[in-house]
Structure formats: structure tokens, C-alpha cells
Chains A and B, each alone.
Chain A
Amino acid sequence: MSELWKAGLGELALHVESGDVSCREIVSAALARIERHDGSIGAFLRVRGESALAEAKTADEARSAGRARSRLHGLPIAVKDILASPEFETTCGSRILAGFRAPYEATVLRRLREAGLIVLGSTNMDEFAMGGSTENSAWQKTQNPWDLARVPGGSSGGSAAAVAARLVPAALGTDTGGSIRQPAALCGVTGLKPTYGRVSRYGLVAFASSLDQIGPITRSCSDAALLLGVIAGHDAHDATSYPEPAPNWLASLSGSADGLRIGVPRGFFDGEGADPETMARAREALRSFEGLGAKTVEVELPNSAYGIATYYLICTAEASSNLSRYDGVKFGFRAVSQTLDEMYEKTRSEGFGAEVKRRILLGTYVLSAGYYDAYYRKAQQARTLIRRDFERAFESCDLIATPTTPGPAWRLGELVDDPLQMYLADVYTVTANLAGLPALSIPCGFNGAGLPIGLQLIGRPLDEATVLRAGDAFQRQTHFHERMPEGFAS
């Protein structure tokens, strides 16, 4: 089979099962794609060329001896630079973690390894996952494969760009307020944030612990279902990990959306200041779902108007606490200094970038004496109201649809000096994190300039199955997710 790089995980699995291609050929093809194309998009921070090829050889041997560890044994994947591994450096896009090699392995990486997936390298991201454009990386910029003058979204911008440019069939990202779904939408790929607790965070560098989740970025919903099946499940190392075993999501993909009730939140598809083309494509996707037998019902999420304010209070407060561990003592970068106090201050001041400092300052302020009740406690109360809105809405529907973003990818540099505008781009995604709900972004069309647009599907707690089933049914009838960016189609 030629052009192996065009295939997703499920298709590649069929090929290696039938024996017409080897894992070594697949991994070589992916490495060749990275070599040829990553120079123009900057998705990867590091690539494990030789060790990946050696692992592919071992996988071929295991498979021919009838010892395949899973259907995905020997297939390549990329991971965001935020997961602890003794095999390679983890910097979280930050100078302060330069050179850090963890003494232990993140649970998701262990699960990938046990299923036989081969990590080809780690992908660029906004520093500590703070940002929506990947421009906050301390190391490099990442370009959107659909238009190299534009951002790929963020914070998992490297993972989304790598999948969109067909460098790898799949990647892992993380999502605290939209960091899987937003770059997936802006790069025209599929991204799933699972339910809070569904995937273990052991070994995930913490940003905002009550919101962070790890999830797949893939070419299709069926690949997302396959990959989620690998990484999900209870883990005693993560006290927030959901205790029930993970279901077989692939089996839930019936291909039908018949009878599904899709909630359409009032006002979400004609948002003030939102891009008309983006809204139009999202509305067309709703009509496609109706054509597939789904019913749309209007729902109300009145407190979502407070989503961004609530989210930025909670995430910065948690970040200011989580990031106190970077002080030059235990790992990473240390500034030259004479005294301990000077060491802490200089290390943090030289090691963190502007956005991280901004959020630490904001979080420290809202948690400081006299402000806690007015800000943090108030935000956690607003969060309860936002969650209750969803509970009420799910009494009359099985899924909630929204545009994933208010507009398409913006130009590199366009919003770097306006943090608040950048925050407002998360308007449709943050509430699923605040409520802990599974949420998917699927490609649902393109604007006049050829930039991809995403539709978000939010499910009930732990109901990834319905979200994936609906997305898969849509993808069986549409071809948006198969379209490749020009310049990366050969």
C-alpha cells in the first residue's frame, strides 16, 4: 500500500492485521512525513527516529509470532510535551523545565506502551498549556497547515497541526478549557475531551487540577474511540480517576444518529461578535444531523454567559498553586543566584513566559487575603449553576451542540498583546470543563478562505459513547474530516 501516511489508526490496524504492510513501513512513512513537512509547521519539539524504528521492528516480530498486544500494536502516535516519561524530555513548552526527564512514566504513556503504540515524538504547546494559539511556547511557533500565516490554535496546537498535516495518524492532547477541541476545530481534525476522571492524569504536568483532562486528537471519531479505549480507565495513582471500567467505545459506533435528541442552546449559534461563516457552517451541521434522523430541541444554558469569567478565576487560582513547585530546587532551570530567596525569584522570573506570569499573578491575587470569597468562592458557586444548567438541559436532550469556536484560525501575532480577547475565544469550550462533561469537536465545513470550522458535541457525564456515536454517524455521511490541507496532500 502506498501513501501510508494518509491512513488513520483503524485503517492502518487493518493493514497490519492482514499483513500487507509492516509496522516498520508505517513508522518509516510517518518519520519521512515529519522530515519533509514539519519544517513548515513546527509541530514537533522532538522526534524519536531511531528508537521508534527499533520499536517498530520489535512490534513486527511480536505480530508475526502471534503476540500482538492490541490492534494498534506497532502504530505511531505523537504526544503533547506535557506527559512525564523516562524515555524523553518533558518541558511543557517552558524554559523552566528545560532538560527535565521524569523518573517515572505517565499512566497514559504506560497504557500506550502496553498497547504497543509507538511514540514518535512530542509536540509543541503553549507554555504550561496556557493559551489558545501555541504562540506561548518558549521554544518555537507552530503554523496552521491550512494557512501557514495562521495559528493552529492551542494549547495542543502541535498535536492538532501534526494530525492535520498527516504527519501522524493520531496524537494526545490535553484540555483544561478547550485545548484539545479548539485546535482540533482550527486545524480541521477530530478532538475529544473525555469526562473529568475518565483518563488518569498521573504524570500529566498540572495546570488547573479540577479541569485538566487528557484526550485523543485524530482523523475521525472511530479513531478517537479506538484511542480512548487505550488510554481510559481507573488508575489508583490518580485519586480523581473514575472507578468504573471503561466501556468499549468502538462497539457503540452504530453509524446511526436516528432518534438522538440534540440540544441547541439558545443564542449559541448567532453569538454576538461571532464569525457569520462559522455560525452558518455549524447551523448547516445541525441540519445534516436532522437529515440523519436526529431531532434538534432548543435548550437554555443561561449561566454559560458567566463561563469565561468563572473559568479564568478558577484556572488561574489553581495554576498559581500548582506552579509554585517551579522554584529552581527540584528540576529544570535555575537562575544564577546568591541566596535562596533570590534563587526562587530569579528562577521563576527568567524561567516563565509572560502569559504564565500573568496567570500566576491573577491567581495569586484572587486567592489573596480578602479576595477569596469575592472571586474564587464566587466562581465555584457560578460553576455549580453552570453545571445545573447542563443537568436541566440533559433532561430534554441526549447531546448538546455548539460551534467549537466563535471564528476560524486567526493570524499569528494577531492577539498576542490582547490576552482578554484570546480568553474570549474559549467561550464555547470552557463550560464543558467547568461541568466535567465529555465534549467532542468534529470538522463541519470550511469558510470562504478554506479554513476549517468545527462543531462541538457535549455529552452527559461519562457518556462519551453517545458523543462519539453521533460524531461517527456524521462522519460516515460527510467528507470534511477527510479533506487535506493543500501543500500537505502529497
Chain B
Amino acid sequence: MNITRETVLYVARLARLRLTAEEVPRMQRDLDAILDYVATLRALDTTGVPPTTHVLEIATPLRPDEVRGVLPVAEVVRNAPQHDESAMIVPKVLE
């Protein structure tokens, strides 16, 4: 295996995922198989080839920097699992 158990746990930590004891070996096996497959790309010579940044040649659209209609705050925070009229509430960060 190219992907170690430690790598899986490290990447999971970066992605803020907590894998169960059953998930770790399964993800390790799957990622290993997929990365092994995508390694076929190594055979492709891409010397001097620019990476794609956009498939169509369109310019970045510009607009005047003006205040426009915004959504009412109460409507926006309504979807938060915990909120009051104007804010989303999360567990305390500082003691």
C-alpha cells in the first residue's frame, strides 16, 4: 500500500473528518486503489503544457462597486442549528 494508515488519519484531520475504526482500513484500501489508478497520468508527457484555468475564453466580469440588495439577516441565520435574531451560535471558543 502506498497510503499508510497514518496518512489516512492525517488527511482526515485536515478535512475535519473523524473516521470510525471500521472506516479507516476501508478508506485506506479505497484511496490506495484510486491513487494507484490515477497514477496512470504519470505516463502522460505534460512538459510545457499550461494547466486549464477556464474552459471558455471569457473575461472576468466587472461591475461597479455598489451596495445592492442583501438578504435579511434574520432569514439567513434561520437555517443555523442554533441562532438568535441576528447571529449564529456555536460552542464557546475562549474560556
Contact = CB atoms under 8 A, between A and B. Distances in A.
Interface of A: 99-104, 195-197, 210, 236, 239-240, 242-243, 303, 306, 308-310, 312-313, 320, 324, 327-334, 337-340, 342-346, 348-349, 352, 354, 357-358, 360-362, 364-365, 368, 375, 377-385, 387, 419-420, 423, 434-436, 461-462
Contact of B34 (A312, A346, A379, A380): A312
B56 A436 contact: yes
A361 B79 contact: no
A365 B55 contact: no
Contacts of A368: 11, 14
A213 B46 CA distance: 27
Nearest to A333: B81
Contacts of A328: 81, 90
A453 B72 CA distance: 48
A223 B26 CA distance: 44
A381 B51 contact: yes
Contacts of A423: 34, 37
Interface in B19-66: 19-20, 23, 26-27, 30-31, 33-35, 37-42, 44, 46, 49-56, 58, 60-61, 63
A239 B61 contact: yes
Nearest to A420: B33
A271 B82 CA distance: 53
Contacts of B53: 380
Given A334-B82, A385-B46, A420-B33, A364 B11 contact: yes
A303 B49 CA distance: 13
Contact of A101 (B18, B79, B88): B79
Contact of B31 (A197, A332, A361, A385): A361
Interface in B56-95: 56, 58, 60-61, 63, 71-72, 75-76, 78-82, 88, 90-93
B23 A357 contact: yes
Given A309-B40, A328-B81, A364-B15, A380 B51 contact: yes
Given A306-B44, A365-B31, A368-B11, A100 B79 contact: yes
A298 to B, nearest CB: 23
A293 to B, nearest CB: 31
Interface residues of B, number: 54
Contact of A103 (B20, B56, B76): B76
Contacts of A243: 58, 61
Contacts of A342: 91
Contact of A360 (B17, B30, B81): B17
A381 B93 contact: no
Nearest to A326: B16
Interface of B: 3, 7-8, 11-12, 14-20, 23, 26-27, 30-31, 33-35, 37-42, 44, 46, 49-56, 58, 60-61, 63, 71-72, 75-76, 78-82, 88, 90-93
Contacts of B90: 328-329, 340, 343
A236 B63 contact: yes
A206 to B, nearest CB: 16
Nearest to A424: B37
B78 A103 contact: yes
Contacts of A349: 17-20
A314 to B, nearest CB: 9
A381 B88 contact: no
24 contacts: A103-B76, A196-B55, A197-B55, A242-B56, A242-B58, A243-B61, A306-B40, A309-B39, A327-B16, A330-B79, A330-B80, A337-B91, A340-B91, A340-B92, A348-B18, A358-B31, A360-B15, A362-B35, A378-B41, A378-B42, A385-B49, A419-B30, A419-B33, A434-B55
A346 to B, nearest CB: 7
A377 B51 contact: yes
A382 to B, nearest CB: 6
Contacts of A365: 3, 7, 11, 31, 35
A193 B93 CA distance: 45
B41 A379 contact: yes
